Amino acid sequence: MQSNENASLVLDALSTRVLRTLSPGAWRKLFLRPHQEVMQFAPARGTFLCAAAQVPSWGAGGDLQSELSFLAATHGGELDPCPQSTALVRFDDPQAALDMAREMQNMICDLRFQVGLVSGDCTLACLQLEGRVLRVLVGEAVDRAEAVTAMASPGTIRIAPETFALLQEDIVGMSHWMVTTEYEGDCMTAASLTLPPRGNAQLSTFAGLGLT
C-alpha cells in the first residue's frame, strides 16, 4: 500500500468485507493485532465479474457458492472468499470473464443473476487465518464492479465501457443475445447483454430482433 491514507482505506474496506462473511472471532484474530503479522498486500489488475442473486444459499458454503467456485476455476478465474451479498471473481483474460457470465445466465435453474463486468486495479489482501490463506480483493475496481452489478437487471450482463472496448468484437459477433448500449452525450457509459426468455412460447418476443 502506497501511503498511510491508502492503507487506512484498504484496511477499512477489508475489515467490512471480512466482518460480513466471517465470524466475529475470526475478525478479531485478523484485526486486533498488528496487520503485518497476518496480512500481506499486493496490487492486482484484471477483469472482475460480480454477480448477485436473492437466494438463501448465496453465502459462503452454500450450494450455489460451491457451484460458482467450480465455474470460476473452470474459466481460469479466482473467486473472492468474502462475497457479502455478491460473488466476485477476478480474471486475467476478459474473454474468460464474459464466458463465465454467459454460462451463469444459461444455468439450468430458476435463477436469473445480475452480472456486472469491469476492468481495472484493486488490492489483493492475503490473510493468514487458522492455518489457511484467504485471498480477498478490495479497492476501486471491486467497488465499481459491485456498483455496475447493482444497476444490472436480473438475467442481464452489464459491462463497463473499458471492458466493452476489450470485448467489442466478440460481443458484436454473438448470436442469440440482445446487445444494448447507454450513452451520456457522445460517451458510452455501459453495455448490456440480454438472453432471450426461457421457454419456446416466449421466444417469439425476440423474433423481430432476429434473435431466435
Per-block mean pLDDT, blocks of 10 residues, the chain (212 long):
68 90 90 90 96 67 75 94 82 97 82 93 94 92 95 95 95 87 94 77 43 44
**Cell 473472492 belongs to which residue?**
80
Q: Which helix (H) or strand (E) holds 11?
A: helix 4-21
pLDDT in the model for residue 7 = 82
Is the CB of residue 49 less than 8 Å from the CB of residue 83?
Answer: no
Q: Is 30 helix (H, G, I), strand (E, B) or coil?
A: helix
Task: Provide the sign of the torsion angle of the four alpha carbons 100, 101, 105, 111, taken in this order.
Answer: positive
Is the CB of residue 85 less than 8 Å from the CB of residue 52?
Answer: yes
Nearest to 129 by CA among 29, 59, 23, 32: 29
Distance CA 47, CA 25 (A): 32
Cα–Cα distances in angstroms (integers) from residue 44 to residues 23, 41, 92, 135, 205, in the given order: 26, 9, 10, 11, 42
Q: Is 67 helix (H, G, I), strand (E, B) or coil?
A: helix
pLDDT in the model for residue 201 = 40
What CATH class has 4-209? alpha beta
Reduce the secondary structure of 143-169 to three states and give it as a string: HHHHHHHHCCCCCEEEECHHHHHHHHH
Query: Is the pTM here over 0.75, yes or no?
Result: yes
Distance CA 192, CA 152 (A): 8
Going by their DSSP bridges, the two strands 178-184 and 39-52 should be labelled as: unpaired
- Determine the angle formed by the axes of helices 63-74 and 94-105, rounding to 10 degrees: 140
Sketch the domain layout of the chain as residue ranges: 4-209
Q: Which three cell numbers stand for residue 25?
A: 472471532
Task: Provide the sign of the torsion angle of the four alpha carbons 148, 149, 155, 157, taken in this order.
Answer: positive
Going by their DSSP bridges, the two strands 178-184 and 187-194 should be labelled as: antiparallel
